[in-house]
Structure formats: structure tokens, C-alpha cells
Chains A and B, each alone.
Chain A
Amino acid sequence: MSNYSDVPLLKKPVWTWEVPLYFFVGGAAGAAAMIGVAAQFGGADRKLVRDARWIAAGGAVVATPLLIADLGRPERFLNMLRVFKLQSPMSVGAWTLAAFGGASTIAIVSDVAAVASAAAGLVMATYTGVLLGATAIPVWKEHAAILPIHFGASALATAASLLELLGHDDKALARLASAAAATETAIGVQIEARGGTDVTTRIGGMFSGPLPLILRLVGSPKTRKAAAASALLGSLITRVAWVEAGKASAERSRA
């Protein structure tokens, strides 16, 4: 035993509230772009397609300043596009956001751009899990193979729930949200089986997984709305909780 046995080995993540909120908004926008394209291919209500595209474009507009605000030198945000580095999830993410922002905005008037926006959107929905997973922070790297799927399912649930709450009573949205809630429940079980994390991630998991799943199984219009609201809340808590769990994990890290 030495006196350094209670000094953390790693530095705490410096990210503040903007980053988890960006994960939430960017993920939802990305999944919405995919829903928009799928709805269009399936010949769903034209208004649903339009709203999904607006969520994608609006999400990109909100997400970008969140990411810029978190920089230590926000005025240098364009340096993100100075190089492209495949080995840096942050670099891949910055370029994806740029592509997604452009494509989802043009997608308001163009079907071709909508497909490009959906492709970038799929990366938007999942890459944030890679961003956390491929780090030195113990709790993040231990879940490197789970977080991208976890965040992806969460993004899908958010986008479908948001469209439901906007008044779109499409069975496909309900099915997607149910599938996402079932996936979130399974992921929650898997995380618990690996030793679990902390209270806040568990609370986020409850609102994302079991609670909306049960509410959807009941199946009345009222419980469907409640399930959608629960999924939105759960998804937001999940992102905040995982960033905070990383800070706590760094504080506990020892050589």
C-alpha cells in the first residue's frame, strides 16, 4: 500500500451538459431521418414523412451549437474539419454531423438527399456509443460493445415516440418503439449481468426499457402516449447518466 493508492489514475471527462444533450438530440434526429425514408418507401402518410424529415433537420440545427458550445475554444470549431481521421471517433462524428446537417436540410425538398440523410443518420444514432466506448475510462470501455447498440435503440425509441406524440397514430411507429423498448430491456439485463453500473443509469434504463414495454403491451391509446413520454425521458436520462458514470469511473480509477 502506498499513499498513491487513493489518487485517481485517470483524468475526469471535462464534458458538461451540452454533450449528453447532443447525444440525445443528434441520436433522435438521425433515427428520425431513417424513419422518414422507411415511411416514404412503405407509402405511409405523407405528413409523417415530412415531420420525420423536419425532426432530422431541426435536430441537426439544435445539435451543432450544442457540440460547439462544449468546446474549450468554440471559435475554432471549424478545426474539426481540418483533417479526417478514421481512428478518431470524434473526427468521424464531426464529419458525420456535417454531412447529416447538410443532407437533412436539403431533404426537406429532396428525396435523394433524404436517403443520404438517413445513411448519415444511422451513424449519428450509433457513433456516440463508439465515442464513449473507445476511451480509457473503465466503465465506458467495459461497455464498448454495448453502448453503440444501447444508444442506437435509445435514438430509435426517441424518434418514434416523438412522432407519436406529434399525433401520428401509425402502427409502424408503435411497433418500432416496442422493438426499441424490448431491446433496451435486454440491454439493461445484459448490463446488470455484467455487474451493473450506477443508480442513474438504472433509472434511465427503467424509463427506456421495462416501463414503456409494459405500457405498450397494455396497448390503449393513453398508455401508448405514456410509453412514448417515458421513452423520451429515459433516453435523455440514459445519455446524461452514462457521461456522469464516466466521471465517477475516472475518479475511482487506480493504477
Chain B
Amino acid sequence: MSDDLEPAGVPAPPPEPGVSHVPAPAPADAPHLSAPASGLTDGEWHRLHPATPLLRGGIVLIAILAWVISNLRERLLDLFIGRGDVEGDPIDWVVGNGLVGVALLIIAGALLLFIGGFYLSWRMHTFRITNEVVEVRSGILFRTNRRGRLDRIQGINIVRPFFARLFGAAKLEVNVAGQDANVQLAYLSSTNADNLRLDILRLASGSQRSEAAARDAAARAAAAPTTTLPAADAGTALTGAPDAQRYPGTPYPGTTPPGQPAPGKPLPRLLDTRVSELLAPELDPNFAPPESVVKLHTGRLIGSIFLNDTTVMFVIIIGAAIAWASLADAPFLLFTIFPVVLGAASFIFRRFTKSLRYSIAGTPDGVRVGFGLFTISNETLPPGRIHSVQVSQPILWRGPGWWEIKVNRASKSSTKGADGQQNTTILPVGNLDDVLRVLGLLLPGLVEDSSVQLLRDGLISPGRDGFTNSPRRAWPLRWFSWRRNGFAFGPGVILLRKGAIWRELVVVPEPRVQSLALLQGPIYRRLGLAKIKVHTVAGPITAELGAIDVDAALTLFTDGSRAVIESATADTSHRWRSSERTSDRDSESTGGHTGDHPGGHSGEAVS
């Protein structure tokens, strides 16, 4: 019963668990380039996983059941143990008043209503994916119709709550820009969700438009097979992933058995696919490098959680309470810290389980970030959807040399990421090398030989380097950090460096900058300083830099605004694979840009 989707146009028979419509996998022998992996992107209306109503409303049913059972506990005990009389039981009352028939009728009616409602809501909940939009219709009485444009996709998230994983179901969430602007497909079967994401990303990437051209290319490739294998250039070496478009023989994940064990970790073949699906690695080995570029050791994760501001605060509160209780010789005071202990434990547990199995890897369609132990979340961020990146190091992490990476995104995912925040934390904890690797994934073209030194400086240098730093006269405003407080231009990015104690580096990709502001107040004017703000979409990061020299700020403002315009014109990441089109009318404008677009170099390879 893993596959469930049928065209909704025809009045379909009720779903039978045994009968399934397995989407035909792409034939491996015929290089049919644009064959969708899931068979769901044909523009027809499809239905969701049959277990959807149970998964969405099932919790309520279970809660009601639990309530009923707990109310009838005495009666049940009575049944099994058979002693004593129970007073005031609703069943006694029903029996006593001769209402057994009525009660049964009511129960049957409620059950029918529930099941009917579930079935109806499942029947009415349909979605379709065309070349332009993804659209969902739902609701029985109040109909909802939501449509998201594919070229506006900011990320696709696949969430597998623990309960849904038991059914082999997953929730696919297409994030488009804006508050609460997500198109949710909940629930799909697990493999379908993976394949569908692949298909949607392929449609959104703009490579589908060149279907005919691509087929021509494939035909030519078949005639001369050597031309299909271009040498790995810098772009693909960075993302490190095979490009599905360029390797037609690569089997789609639909054709591979789910649950391939992670390399190096032999996974015993367990009872059935469900179990192996439950334990499967998050990243499909065919579409991501087999290994995450960052290995999050459990020890480091635990350490990072305990060296956390919140944890330290909890410890201080608990310690203070214990001290107080012992000093005042009033042990009952210990009970007052009980909720704090509970809170601390749940915070640590949540953060720990959310960040376990963290993985990040580059795919042809963007960066894929996965985490979660029980509820697994796995999100793909297409190229050019990251509006700014912040690498920060709290003082407690200085010793072990750990960093955290957050990003600003145009969409707000409804699911929480690691740490229970919005999905803005891309790397919960990592060392300097991890940071550079993740930055290379997030902003392709940024981490090169020439710029690595700049990034290292931005992270750990105390000052006097490639950055334009604050002048000495800025010390009244930046007591410790004036030497470090500065900016620099990297390849396609603006780098802002702040903080000597709480170190921070903000990287803003130029094509994503919305506007630039230059500010000066009376104190700054007296000190000959100014402030620069780089406006991006709202998020946890505010890219601004205060207390820099007026002339430097003016340079940053004028050069920056020019660079921003140039990068934005050259940027094609909203259709990140469109340069693969053999006949591309925009190709002249994409030429010189090395910005954020991993497939960017492949145009020459195909044609």
C-alpha cells in the first residue's frame, strides 16, 4: 500500500490496500530525459496517501478513544477482575434507563460520520503539478484552492513525523516567498514524496522547457557517447553531485529500492520495506553525494548543547535555587525548581533529537539539509534562495572552535528546524572546515582559493587584514571589536564582520540584496563614522555594520549599490538550470556571472 495516487478526474473506486498504482519508472534503457520520476507532474489531479485523514485527524480519534477508555477504566477492571459494583458510570445510566439501542445508534452514527467525513475529505483533497504551478484543492464545505508558482519556489521540505513514518507517509511542503505561503501536500507515500520533489525542482529549474532540445542532445549523445561526460568543472566539483540531466542513464530513485544503508554503516535487512524505509538514510545516494559534507559527531552535539547560553542560564537558575534552599535550610524550596529542571530537560532533549542525524549535501537542484531522529525533516533549497548567511560563535564556543550558521530566507516554513526555531539554522554546530564546506554549498563560487583566506579572516582574524575596518576613533562605540569591525567584498558577496567576543560574519550574496542604506546620526557625525545597512528579506539576520569610517562607508555604499545591480542583472538562479537550454534567448545575459548557480557551467557541456 505504499503507492496510492490515481488520477482524480475519473470517479475512482475506493482505495483498496492491495491495489496500488505504481507509477511506471523511467525505462533505464531508453534515455528519456524528462521522464518524471514520480509520474505525478502530468498536470492531472491526483489524490494523497489514503492514510492522510488518519494521520491528520487520527490524533483526535486516538485522544477520544483514550478519554473513553480512561472513563470506562473501572468498568473494564470490573469486566476482567469481576469484583465490586461501580457507581455513577455512564454505562450504568444507559443500561438503567433502557437506552442501549439509542446509545449503540449514536455510536454507530458518530463512527459513520467520522469515516464518511474522512473519506470525503480524502476524496476532495487533490493536487496537481503543471509546468507552471503546483495547486492544491481541499475542504468539504469550505473549499480551498492554493496555487504556487514553480519559479517562485524558495525550498521544498519533506517532513516525516514519526507517526506518519509508520505508514510510510511523508509530508511535502513547497515553500514560496511570503508569510504562510506554503503549499502542503500532506501526506504522500515516502518514495513518492522524494520523487515528486525531484520532479518539481526539475520543472522549476527551467530545464523542462528545453525538453525537445534536450532530447536532441540526448540523441546526439547516444551517437557520440563521449560528449556526454563533461569534465567536472569548478561548479560541479563544489556541489559534488552528479547532474541528473547530464547522466541520462542514472536510475531515478523510484527504481531503486528504498532504504539503502548508509555507506560504512551496514544496515541489517529487516522485516520489510517499511522498516527499512524507517531507517533509511535521508539523502538518496543517487542524488546526493553519499556522505554529508559535515559529520556532526554526537559528542560535539552534546557539547554544543551544554555550552549553550540557554543551558548555562538553566544551570545558573538551578544552582542558585539549590544554594538558596540549602542556605535557608528549607528543602521544600527545591520543589520550586522542578519546573525549571523539566524545562531544561525538554529543551536539551528536543534540541538533541532534532539535531541528530543532521546532514547537508549539495544536489544539482540545491542544498539539501536533513535532520531529526523521530520526526525527520529534509529540505532542499534551490540555488539563489539564500538571502544572507550568518556565521557566528558565542563566547562559550570559542574554546572548542565551534560555529553556527543561520540563513535568511524569503519563505517561512511551518515546520521547526533544529533548536525548535524556524528552519533558518543550517549548521547547528561545526568547526571551521565544516563552516567553509557549508558556505561553499550555500553560496557556490564563494569558497575559492582566492577567497578562503578572506573568509578565514572574517571568522577568526583579530583585525588588520583584507577587511576595511573601523578606525581607532571608533573605540568609544566598539570597545573591544573596533579592530575587527569591518567589511569586504568577496566573489559576488558583501562580507560584514562584527564582534570580538561574540564573533560574527554576515555574508550577503549581492544578487539577493534588496537595497542599501547609509546612515549617520549626531554621535557618528562627531566621530566621523557612518553605518551601513544591507537590506534583505526578513529573518534572524540583520546585515548592518556600524561605526565604520565615513569615507569607507561611502565607498561601500557607492560600490556596493553598483555591484548589487550588476549581480542582480546577471543572476539567473530563479531558473537555475535554464542555461542548460541549448537555445536560450537569455544566454547572453548569463554569460559573465559566476554567482550562485551550480549548474551554471553546464551550458557549454551540453551544447
A-B complex is real: no
